[in-house]
Amino acid sequence: MFERPASGERAVLVQLDLNQGALDERLSELRLLAVSAGASVEAVIGGRRAKPDPALFAGRGKVDEIAEALRVHDADLVIFNHALSPAQQRNLERSLECRVIDRTALILDIFAQRARSHEGKLQVELAQLDHLSTRLVRGWTHLERQKGGIGLRGPGETQLETDRRLLGMRVRTLKERLARIEKQRRVRRRGRLGRGVLSVSLVGYTNAGKSTLFNALTKAGAYAADQLFATLDTTSRRLYVGEGGNVVLSDTVGFIRDLPHSLVAAFHSTLEETASADLLLHVVDAASEDREAQVDAVNRVLVEIGAGDVPQIMVMNKIDLTQAEAAANRDEYGKIDRVFLSARTGEGLGLLRDALAEAARAAAAAPEDPAGSSPNLTDIDPIQT
C-alpha cells in the first residue's frame, strides 16, 4: 500500500463536467476540502464526459494527462471530486502509481482530523470502516492465501477473508458503543423536554458561521475557525431570551453537498439531536455566491435525517461582507422567518434573540402534546426554499 507522508501531500485535483452543474463552486469547494485535509494543490485537471468510464472513471486520455501533471509537479496524491468505485480506484492507482482518493475518502479524512470527543471519534471510525470494507483488496493483492507451515497452519482462510472478519468484529463493537452513548443522549433529552425547555439547533452548510454565532449568543467558547468542518461534536448551552425564558441551543456538524451516506449513518445519534429539535436556525453564508445551492443541500440532508418538517428560521449571516442591513423579516402570517445579522460583529444579534423569545412564548402557549413530547410549534412555519 502507498504510505502517507508525515508532512502535507502535493495533490492533483480532478473535477470532470458530468452535467451536474455549478462547476466553479464545486471546484472551489474541492480546493477548500483538500487544503483542510492538509494537502497543497499543485494542479487541477478538468474535462467533460457524458458519463464516467467504467474502468478509470476519467478515460485513458485524461488519465495520461493526470500522470503528466503528477510528473511535472512532483505530486504524490490524486483527489477526484467524485465517488469512485473500488475497481476504478484500484485501476487508477495501478495506472498512476500513486495514491488516489475520492470525495468521500477526503471528507472522511477531514472528519478524522477534526473529531475531538470520544463519540465523534467512534462515529468517524465507523464511517471509515464502512468505506474501507469494499476496498480491502487493495492491501492484499500480493497474498493469495496465508502461508502455512509448522505452527502456522490455519483453517485455509484467505488473508482478505481474515481481514474482513476482523473488520466486521470492530464494526459491531463500534455500533454497540455508539448505541450506549445514544441511549444516554436520549435520557438527557427527555429530561430537557420534561422541563418544557424549547430545543433549538443550529444547522447549515459547513463554514457558514454556526459556531461563531453559537459563541456570540452563549459565550460558550466553542471552537470556531474559517475552515470546513471545524465543528463535529454537538455542544449545547442554555440561553436566556428575556420574556421567552430559557431555551437550549445546540451547535451541530455542518453539512455539505453529496455528504457521504456512511457519515450520515455513523453520525445518526448526533444528527438525531437536530431531528428532535423544536426549532432550527438555518445559518446561511449570505456572502456566498452559491448560497442557494448550499441551502438546498442542507435541506436535502435534513430530509434524509428526518428533520425536514422541523420549523426553521433562516439566519442570513456575514452581512458585514455584503453591506446589507440587520433586519428581521416576517412572512404573510406575521411570524419571523428570516433574520439578517453578522455573528462576527454582533450586528443583528438582538433581532435573533427577539425571534427566539417569540418562538419560546409561542411554544409555552401551545397545548401540551398528550404523548409528553416536545412543545407543539405548528404556529412557526418551516422555511420553503
- Residue 156's beta-bridge partner residues? none
Answer yes or no: is 344 a known binding residue: yes
| HSE-up of residue 172 (Cα within 13 Å, Cβ side) | 6
Residue 232 among known ligand-binding residues: yes
DSSP 160-203: HHHHHHHHHHHHHHHHHHHHHHHHHHHHHHHHHHHTTPEEEEEE
Helix (H), strand (E) counts: the chain: 11, 11
Alpha helices in 243-348 (DSSP H): 261-266, 268-275, 291-304
Ligand-binding site membership of 364 (annotated)? no
b/e for 183-200, b at 16 or more Cβ within 10 A? eebeeebeebbeeebbbb
Dihedral sign, Cα of residue 371, residue 375, residue 381, residue 385: negative
Does the annotation place 205 within a ligand binding site?
Answer: yes
Q: Is 230 annotated as a binding residue?
A: yes
Residues 6 or more apart from 155 whose CB is under 8 A from it?
none
**Amino acid identity, residue 16?**
L
Integer Rg of the chain from CA: 24
Cα→Cα distances 9→4, 35, 130, Å: 8, 10, 25
Does the annotation list 371 as a binding residue? no
Q: In angstroms, rounded to a whole number, what is the distance separating the alpha carbons of residues 225 and 294?
A: 19
Cα distances from 249 to residues 11, 240, 259, 340, 384, in angstroms, run 39, 10, 24, 19, 23
H helix runs in 11-158, sequence order: 23-36, 60-73, 86-96, 103-114, 118-132
231 marked among binding-site residues: yes
Does 233 count as an annotated binding residue? yes
163 known member of a binding site? no
Is residue 274 annotated as involved in ligand binding? no
Q: Is 356 annotated as a binding residue?
A: no
Question: Is 177 labelled as part of a ligand binding site?
Answer: no
Measured in whole angstroms, how far is the alpha carbon of residue 365 from the centre of its chain?
A: 35
Residue 253 labeled ligand binder: yes
Three cell numbers, residue 337: 422567518
Q: Which three cell numbers stand for residue 382?
A: 418551516
Q: Is 208 known as a binding-site position?
A: yes
Q: Is position 255 annotated in a ligand binding site?
A: no
CA angle (284 as vertex; 278, 289 as ends), nearest 5: 155
Residue 209 labeled ligand binder: yes
The reply, when asked if residue 295 is annotated as ligand binding, is: no
219 assigned binding-site residue: no
243: which 3 cell numbers? 420574556
Binding site: residue ranges?
204-211, 229-233, 251-254, 317-320, 342-344
Q: Which residues line the annotated binding site for GTP?
A: 204-211, 229-233, 251-254, 317-320, 342-344
Which residues carry a binding-site annotation for Mg(2+)? 211, 231
